[in-house]
Chain A
Amino acid sequence: MVAALKATGVDGQLFKRALLGSLSWLAANHEEVNRLNVFPVPDGDTGTNMLLTLQSAVEDVKESNAAEVSKIAKLASHGSLMGARGNSGVILSQIFRGFARAVEGKGSLTPAELAAGFEEAANAAYRAVNKPTEGTILTVAREAGRAAATAASNPDATNRWKSRSRRWRLSTSPGCRSWRRRRWRWRCPRVDGVTAPSF
């Protein structure tokens, strides 16, 4: 994927594939996310809510063959807004909304534009709440945006997810035990040196 990204940038179809891929990752790991759920109500449904929201987003995207990334992002934004479930779902829909707004009118994205999109997505998610609680999905979105920006400006730094400080920040999540004690439990395959966050 990284190779494709370097060659052509992120167009609509690549972004669509990324969405489909993230749906299957979340489907495989949503139980793990459920277990992390302690805020605001520890009812253990965060992962399921997120999965349902993402499913609704992908439902709209699946039919489209649009080559422009902005069109796919808009469809995902609309689908996730309509299918938002629970707190995490509502936040996810805001993340998609921010991303769609950031890439508006663009056919394909350079790595820097993609990173800017991620950062704007996190900003949009932060704006919709009066008192953001750190250590929630909001923190994850912001750190993902920062990591993407670092990676975009320095292609050799794609593995920054593993950096200690970032892991520390993510592990301050209300439900997270010390990261030292947490094993690498996300069953995510390595994709060209990009690894999933362990939090």
Chain B
Amino acid sequence: MSFLMASKTTTALIQSRQWGRIEVFPSAVAAIAGHAATRCYGISGMAARGLRDGFAELLRRENVDKGVDVVQADDALVIDVYVIVQYGIRISEVAHNLQETVKFEVERSVNVPVLKVNVNVQGVREERI
């Protein structure tokens, strides 16, 4: 399968319709995925891609899309999410739930198949009491 590495901000998902075309930019898809991910159980929040000084940084609500990478591969999407999880949960299961949720939400909102959701756990956070 040839992966078409779309540069993040320019190439949009384009669907032609009777009255014109619909373009959805990767940043919009990233925001959808980011909001779906933050609502997932056991997820503390999104982290910025790549570690800054070795520390994972929790992203604020308005830029959760910074913690998501969207790459278009043929007619499908490959999504990378960078998250920080809660302490004391089964990370493998939470990550699996996250994959399902992100895939479902993105497919429902933009109607484009999601090929992969790669979860990167950047950190673990003790719950706030």
- A binding-site residues for B, Cβ under 8 Å: 40-41, 43, 81-82, 84-87, 89-91, 93-94, 97, 124, 127-131, 133
Complex-state Cα separation, A133 to B43, whole angstroms: 13
Of B13-21, B74-82, B93-101, B111-119, which stretch is located at the interface? B93-101
A130–B44 touching, CB < 8 Å? yes
Q: A127-B129, A128-B89 are in contact. Are A90 and B43 (CB under 8 A)?
A: no
Q: Which of A40, A128, A131 contacts B42 (CB 8 A)?
A: A128
Query: Distance (Å) between the CB of B44 and the closest chain A CB?
Result: 7
At the interface, yes or no: B25 with Cβ under 8 Å from chain A? no
A87–B41 touching, CB < 8 Å? yes
B93–A41 touching, CB < 8 Å? no
A-B contact pairs, 28 of them (CB 8 A): A40-B36, A40-B39, A40-B40, A40-B97, A40-B101, A40-B105, A41-B101, A82-B90, A84-B89, A84-B90, A85-B93, A87-B40, A89-B93, A90-B42, A90-B90, A90-B93, A90-B94, A94-B88, A97-B88, A124-B127, A127-B128, A128-B42, A128-B88, A128-B127, A129-B41, A129-B42, A130-B38, A130-B45
Complex-state Cα separation, A129 to B98, whole angstroms: 12
Count of A-B contacts judged by CB separation below 8 Å: 64
Query: Distance (Å) between the CB of A3 and the closest chain B CB?
Result: 36
At the interface, yes or no: B122 with Cβ under 8 Å from chain A? no
Q: A85-B93, A128-B127 are in contact. Are A91 and B100 (CB under 8 A)?
A: no
Query: Distance (Å) between the CB of B73 and the closest chain A CB?
Result: 22
A87–B97 touching, CB < 8 Å? yes
Complex-state Cα separation, A90 to B40, whole angstroms: 11
Complex-state Cα separation, A94 to B45, whole angstroms: 18
Interface on chain A toward B: helix, strand, loop, or mixed SS? helix
Complex-state Cα separation, A155 to B96, whole angstroms: 43
Residues of B within 8 A of A (CB-CB), count: 23
Interface on chain B toward A: helix, strand, loop, or mixed SS? mixed
Specify which chain B residues have a CB less than 8 angstroms from the CB of A133 in the assembled complex.
Answer: 39
B97–A94 touching, CB < 8 Å? no
Specify which chain A residues have a CB less than 8 angstroms from the CB of B43 in the assembled complex.
Answer: 129-130
Q: Which residue of B lies closest to A133 (CB)?
A: B39
Complex-state Cα separation, A85 to B90, whole angstroms: 9
A127–B127 touching, CB < 8 Å? yes
Complex-state Cα separation, A126 to B29, whole angstroms: 28
Complex-state Cα separation, A133 to B88, whole angstroms: 20
Query: Distance (Å) between the CB of A48 and the closest chain B CB?
Result: 14
A128–B86 touching, CB < 8 Å? yes
Specify which chain B residues have a CB less than 8 angstroms from the CB of A43 in the assembled complex.
Answer: 100
Query: Distance (Å) between the CB of A118 and the closest chain B CB?
Result: 18
B38–A131 touching, CB < 8 Å? yes
B100–A93 touching, CB < 8 Å? no
Specify which chain B residues have a CB less than 8 angstroms from the CB of A128 in the assembled complex.
Answer: 41-42, 86, 88-89, 127
